[in-house]
Amino acid sequence: MEIIRFRAGDYLNERESFHYARKSLDVRFPEKAHDHDCFEVFLIERGGALHWINGEVQCLEQGHLAFVRPQDAHAFRADRETGCQIINVMFRAETAAHLVHRYPDEFRGRFFDWDGDLPEAYEIFGSRFERAVNVAQELGTSIRSLARIEEFLLTLTNRVVERSAHSNSAAPRWFSAACQAVRDPAVFRGGAAAFVRAAGRSHEHVCRVTQAELGITPSELVNRVRIEHSALLLGHGKLPIPEVARACGIENLSYFYRLFRTQYGVTPRQYRLQNQMAPF
């Protein structure tokens, strides 16, 4: 496919830091693909699409989120049966460079700093998908400032995506969906068994895939999510620590303390004191 270049200066004036588009895709590929002198993020909001990207063709569905780099040449067409609505955000190369420099632990080698053959992409579901759509729509109605695009990108990368939803790996879709489901208190309170039920596969198969994709067991995954939730309760509420543990599905208090210290390096009480300290 012939390739043309999209330039940020054709879409942005000197005072603008990003371009936002929300549109329905045509059911035919354009005559030419395009690459860029900038970066873009796109989210399939509804329906499905075929995506020609760097010489390959991907089938995309709702919830596909990708971080496209300047060298990536691509083109879309909507699925002829379902159609496709897409959200696309284009931003300047210096914005990406600043975030990688400012937050190397979060961005180096990931997202728009990814060096794979295809852009880094994620499959997001449920509340994370809703959050992505909401923050994107808020961006579309805001002033096109540097602060707003950085806020949007930090929200996407820190509060929407997670490694278990990485679609560039060979992780099956059922596994990504189960990893999203385990964020629900109704699931993680039930422990590893509830995670396996959400996956809809045998316990042995779920264990193998979890170990292969994340390097941990289902129990370790569930406990990690439980402790993250307990940190939220400790930092923003007044529940006694034993009740916090039970709210996370952990009845053994000493086990809860051990898990918490391993993950955060402090006791639950120390964490609460640090995070509820009044600045006045």
Whole-angstrom distance, CA of residue 188 vs CA of residue 204: 19
The pLDDT of residue 198 is above 90 = yes
Helix (H) or strand (E) holding 213: helix 203-214
Residue position matching structure tokens 């970066």: 39
The pLDDT of residue 171 is above 80 = no
Q: What pLDDT does 182 receive?
A: 87
Q: What pLDDT does 70 receive?
A: 95
Mean pLDDT of all residues in 83-87: 95
The pLDDT of residue 162 is above 80 = no
The 10s digit of each residue's pLDDT in 181-190 is 888 899 999 9
Percent of the chain at pLDDT > 90 equals 66
Q: Both tokens of residue 130?
A: 């809703």
At 274, is the pLDDT very low, low, confident or very high (cuts 50, 70, 90)?
confident
Task: Give span(s): CATH 1.10.10.60, the chain.
Answer: 173-275
pLDDT mean across residues, the chain: 90
Of residues 255 and 131, more confidence is placed in: 255
**Is 147 in contact with 82 (CB distance < 8 Å)?**
no
Whole-angstrom distance, CA of residue 85 vs CA of residue 67: 17
Q: What pLDDT does 154 receive?
A: 95
Question: Cα–Cα distances in Å, from 145 out to 16, 30, 67, 95, 260?
Answer: 6, 30, 20, 11, 39
At 176, is the pLDDT very low, low, confident or very high (cuts 50, 70, 90)?
confident
Task: Please enumerate in sequence order all residues whose Cβ is within 8 A of that of 63, keeping only pairs 6 or more positions apart, or say none.
Answer: 43, 44, 123, 124, 125, 129
Q: What pLDDT does 180 receive?
A: 77
**Is 74 in contact with 68 (CB distance < 8 Å)?**
yes
Q: How far is CA 222 from the centre of its chain?
A: 18
Percent of the chain at pLDDT > 70 equals 94
CATH class of 3-165: mainly beta
The 10s digit of each residue's pLDDT in 21-66 is 999 999 999 999 999 999 999 999 999 999 999 999 999 988 899 9
Q: What pLDDT does 196 receive?
A: 95
Task: Give span(s): CATH 2.60.120.280, the chain.
Answer: 3-165
How big is the CA angle at 225 (ends 128 and 99), to the nearest 5 degrees?
Answer: 55
Of residues 1 and 220, more confidence is placed in: 220
The 10s digit of each residue's pLDDT in 86-138 is 999 999 999 999 999 999 988 999 999 999 899 999 888 777 788 899 999 99
Pick the CATH number of 173-275 from 1.10.8.80, 3.90.1150.10, 3.40.50.1010, 1.10.10.60: 1.10.10.60
- Minimum mean pLDDT range among 78-82, 102-106, 272-276: 272-276
Q: What pLDDT does 51 receive?
A: 95
How big is the CA angle at 138 (ends 233 and 125), to the nearest 5 degrees?
Answer: 60
Q: What pLDDT does 212 receive?
A: 85
Q: What pLDDT does 166 receive?
A: 60
